Structure 1
C-alpha cells in the first residue's frame, strides 16, 4: 500500500522512514514537509496539494507536533484517507474523539499509535501481572530534554505537554500492562517561570486493590535516562527497564523474543491490518491521565529553563 509521511523531522527520519522502507506492507509514495524530505521520494510542501494530486495514496501518517495534528488529520479523513497518528494523537481529548467520529462516518481507519506499547518486553510484563495482587507500582521516567528535544520550543508551548511528552510513553505502557484500571488522584507539576508546560511532575494514582501507584517525571536528568516500571506484588517482584526493552521477574531476565523486531515496524504492521479491515483504534487511556494531571495537579513555579 502507498503511504504519505507528513512532518519530516527527527522522529520521522529515525523511526518512520526505516520502518516503512523495510515493511512488506508499505511503499513510501510521498512526503509533506516545509523543510525535510526523503531521497528518491516525491516531496510536497503543501498538504492539500498532495491530497489533490495523489488520490492514489490512500494512507497518511502524521508525524507533526500535537497542536496542528487535528487539522491535518481532519483534512485527510474528509478526503477519504486512512490516518495514522504519532503519539499523543492530539492536543486535547475532544479533538481525538472528534477524529474518531469523523473516521467512522467516512468509513476509514484511524490509528492512535503508542510506540512504547510495542517495546519488546511489554507482552511479558502484561502476562506476569494479569493475576497478581499488587502492593506497589513505581514508575520513574527521567531524561535530559536537551538531548531528546534539542531546541524544540514547541514542547514547552501550550499543547506541547512538556515532560508529559516522554511521560505519556510510561503511561501508555502502564495502561497496557495493568489488569485493573487506575485513575489519577493527586499531582504536583513543576513549571519553569518562563515556560507554558511542566519540566517535572509527581503523580499518584488510585488502584482498586489499594496498591501504591506513583509516577516520577523529570526532564533535567543528567547522564543516561531512566525509564523504568517496578512492581511489588504479593507473589513477587517485576522490574521493567529501558522503556520496556528489559524485563526481570524475581531477578531472572525474561527471555521471550518477539516475532517482529522494533516498535515502529510493529506499529506499521498493525496499521496495515487496520486498513484492510477498516477499523478505528484510538485508545485514549494514556492521554486521559495526562489531562487529569493538568486538571488536578498543583502548579509549582520553578527556575526558568533555557536551552
Structure 2
C-alpha cells in the first residue's frame, strides 16, 4: 500500500476523500496537515512543510486546500519526491499547473489533476454511446445553492476562487471528456455580486468545428432540489446525464442510476498512475474557465450575503 497524507482537512476532505481512502486497499492514510482541523488515529501537522519533514516514509499527498497557494504546496511535495493528487480546480492559473507538470516529470513523481465528476457512473457509458452519433446540440444546467455547499467560505469569492465555476468546472470536466469533438467558447456573460471578485452565475455559449451549439447555464443561487444535468440531442435520440453524472437516460430508457463512486474511482486511478510511473495532467476544463474570464461580459448584481 502507498502511504498518503491529506493536506487541507476541510469539508471536501471529510465528506469525500476520507470515506474513499477508508475503503481503499491501495492507500494507507497516515497523516493530515491542516491549520484548523485534525483527524483521530493518524499523525497531525499544522502545514505541509512540517509534514514533509517529519514523515520520511510518506509517499504521496492529496491536496484538498483552496486553490490559492496550492502551487507552493504541490511544489514542496514534488521537490521532496512525493506523488501529488490535486483536487479540482488544480490551481489558480494554467501556467502554474503546467509548471508543476514539468517539475513532476523531472522529479520522476506522479502528478494527477483529478476531475471527480468524470468518475461518475454514467460518464463512460454516455461517452461510448455518443462516439457513434451525430450531435445536434448540447444543453448544460448546473445550478446549486452556494450556502449549502460552501458555508462561510470566503476564498471562493476572491481572485482564483472561481465563484460559480467551482461547481461549473465539474460539468466542463464531463463534457470535455464525453463529447467526441473539442469545442471552444464563443460568447459568455458573468454575473458578479457587487461585493465579490468572482461570479455567482454564468451563461456560456460554445461551438465546435461542426458548429454544434453548446449552451451552459451555471448558477449558485438555486435553493431546494439541485440541478446537475447535461442534455445531448443527437440524430439517434436524446441522452440525459443527470444527478452530476450518476443517472443516465437515453430516450425514455433509464440506462443507469448509479451510486456515488467518484472519489473511489479517483484513488484507483491515482494508484494506477503511481504504479506505472506516469502523470495525468489535463487542464482542458480549466482552460474553458480561463477563456470565460477572458471573453465574457460582466454584469454587476446585488451583493452576496451569507
Fold-level similarity (TM above 0.5): yes
Unpaired segments ≥5 residues, structure 1: none
Q: For residue 262 of structure 2, what is the aligned residue in structure 1?
A: 263
For residue 32 of structure 2, give the secondary structure of its aligned residue in structure 1.
strand
Matches within 5 A, 1:156-167: 156-167=157-168
- Distance apart, 1:131 and its partner CA: 1.6
CA distance in structure 1 between the partners assigned to 2:258 and 2:221 by the alignment: 33
1:279 aligned partner = 278
Q: 1:192 to 1:255 in 2, by over 3 A?
A: closer
Partner of 2:138: 137
- In the alignment, does 2:179 pair up with 1:178? yes
Q: Size of the alignment, in residue pairs?
A: 305
CA displacement at 1:35 relative to structure 2: 1.4
| CA-to-aligned-CA distance 1:55-92 (integer Å, 9 cap, x gap) | 10010110000111111000100111100000011111
Give 1:210 deviation, angstroms: 2.0
Residue of structure 1 equivalent to 2:304 = 305
1:116 & 1:50 partners in 2: Cα distance? Answer: 29
Q: Verify the 8 A CA contact 1:25 1:272 in the aligned structure 2.
A: yes
Residue 95 of structure 1: aligned partner: 96
Give the direction of change, closer, same or farther, for the CA distance of 1:145–1:256 in structure 2 (3 Å limit).
closer
Query: Residue by residue, what CA displacement relative to the aligned partner does 1:82-111 show, whole Å, maximum 9, x if unpaired?
Result: 000000111110010000000001010000
User: Where does residue 198 of structure 1 map in the other structure?
Assistant: 199
Q: How far is the alpha carbon of 1:46 from its aligned partner?
A: 2.7
Alpha-carbon distance, 1:251 to partner: 1.2
Structure 2: how far apart are the matches of 1:48 and 1:155?
24
1: CA distance, partners of 2:256 / 2:82: 40
Structure 2: give runs of 5+ residues left out of the alignment: none
Report if the CA contact (8 A) 1:124-1:254 is conserved.
no
CA distance in 1, matches of 2:129, 2:146: 32
- 2:40 corresponds in structure 1 to 39
Q: Is residue 2:210 matched to residue 1:209?
A: yes
Give deviations 1:105-132, integer Å, cap 9, x for gaps: 1010000000000001001110111021
In 1: Cα distance, 2:171 partner to 2:47 partner? 34
In structure 1, distance between residues paired with 2:129 and 2:257: 12
Deviation at 1:256, TM superposition (A): 8.3
